[in-house]
A = this chain, B = another copy of it.
Amino acid sequence: MHELIDSLFMKEFANKTLNAKNDSAILKIGNKKMAFTTDSYVVNPIFFPGGDIGSLAVHGTVNDLSVCGAKPLFISLGMILEEGLDRAVLEKISRSINAAAKKAGVSVVTGDTKVVEKGSCDKIFINTSGIGEIFYDGLSVNSIRPQDAVIISGPIGEHAISVLSKREGISFNTSVKSDSAPLNGLVRKALAVSGRIRFMRDPTRGGVATTLSEMVERARFGICVDEKAVPVTEQVRQACELLGFDPLYLACEGRVIIVVDSRDAGKVISAMRKDPLGRKAKIAGHITKEYKGKIYLDTLSGGRRLVTMLSGEQLPRIC
């Protein structure tokens, strides 16, 4: 997938904006700098503990805008429905979209609905595109410097475990709820206290490991992650042991990785902890001059190992 996007799309649609490979495109519109992003959602099942495809579609796009330093403003809603989809299901999802948009302070301003025959799509797919106004300029992988702190805003992997356990009918002692949430409030609090935040990204598909791998790709720095400082709940850890997953590769939908000048890391953490979504925020690693282009993990067991990007398929239909 990663190879496909790189080789095919980037070549075909080569232009400066797309090549920046941000979660959002940064556009000059009149006297404003705007962010523009799109995401399709194909999560299966469409309802899972802690959310559904509707709220997920809003949060995902709100978060893609937020991590670019933008205030999310407007959202579009494209739905593809399978013929025969229960009207009650559609109503529930619509209410969920609406509630999520209200909570995140964005307006659904334009939409489109297509219906395909039974069997031509799995229940419902949703695309949301979003427009936001940049209020914090210069967030970029290129701003990252050795010694910078790597903050993770909260426990990782809950979204993936929630969706997987619902899909596979696996239950744990208590059900794991998705972390799906709008990050704009939390991000704003962090950005308000430091002018030295370098870069942010929400670790969705492929989790923290994949997000960090994308950061170090072709970079002149490496990342050292302290496994014991990575927030993971006991439930997620147990589920991972049972299912053979590494939490570092599991998708989050309401967590953010923030790279910040280490001198400001303390006050950014304090600010984040004042937000319900950032209560468990932690410095989980730092940028290194060594290990150029690589990520090293200081493991719980006291060793040090290389973290690589998933070579095979990532978990399908997790978002």
Question: Which listed residue (B4, B17, B78) contacts A39, Cβ 8 A?
Answer: B78
Dominant secondary structure of chain A at its interface with chain B: strand
By the criterion CB–CB under 8 Å, are B17 and A317 in contact? Answer: no
Complex CA distance for A17 and B131, rounded to whole angstroms: 14
Question: Which listed residue (B32, B41, B74, B112) contacts A30, Cβ 8 A?
Answer: B32
By the criterion CB–CB under 8 Å, are A30 and B29 in contact? Answer: yes
By the criterion CB–CB under 8 Å, are A112 and B316 in contact? Answer: no
By the criterion CB–CB under 8 Å, are A42 and B116 in contact? Answer: yes
By the criterion CB–CB under 8 Å, are A108 and B18 in contact? Answer: yes
By the criterion CB–CB under 8 Å, are B40 and A107 in contact? Answer: no
- Among the interface residues A73, A76, A119, which one has the most CB atoms of the partner chain B within 10 A? A76
Number of identical monomers bound together in the oligomeric complex: 2
Chain A 94-122 near chain B by CB (<8 Å), digits 1 or 0: 11011001000001111111111101111
Interface size on A, residues (CB 8 A): 62
By the criterion CB–CB under 8 Å, are A316 and B40 in contact? Answer: no
A127 contacts which chain B residues (CB < 8 A)? 38, 40, 78, 127, 129
Assuming the contacts A40-B112, A113-B4, A121-B122, asked whether A25 and B80 have C-beta atoms less than 8 A apart, the reply is: no
Complex CA distance for A122 and B98, rounded to whole angstroms: 28
Question: Which listed residue (B110, B115, B117) contacts A38, Cβ 8 A?
Answer: B110
Counting CB contacts under 8 A, is A12 at the interface? yes
26 A-B interface contacts by CB (under 8 A): A4-B90, A5-B113, A12-B94, A13-B94, A13-B108, A15-B107, A17-B74, A18-B107, A18-B108, A18-B110, A18-B111, A25-B76, A27-B109, A30-B31, A36-B110, A36-B131, A37-B76, A38-B110, A38-B129, A40-B80, A41-B114, A42-B116, A76-B129, A78-B78, A115-B316, A121-B125
Q: Which residues of chain A have a CB within 8 Å of any CB of chain B?
A: 1, 4-5, 8-9, 12-13, 15, 17-18, 24-25, 27, 29-32, 34, 36-42, 44, 73-74, 76-80, 90-91, 94-95, 97-98, 101, 107-117, 119-122, 125, 127, 129, 131, 133, 316-317
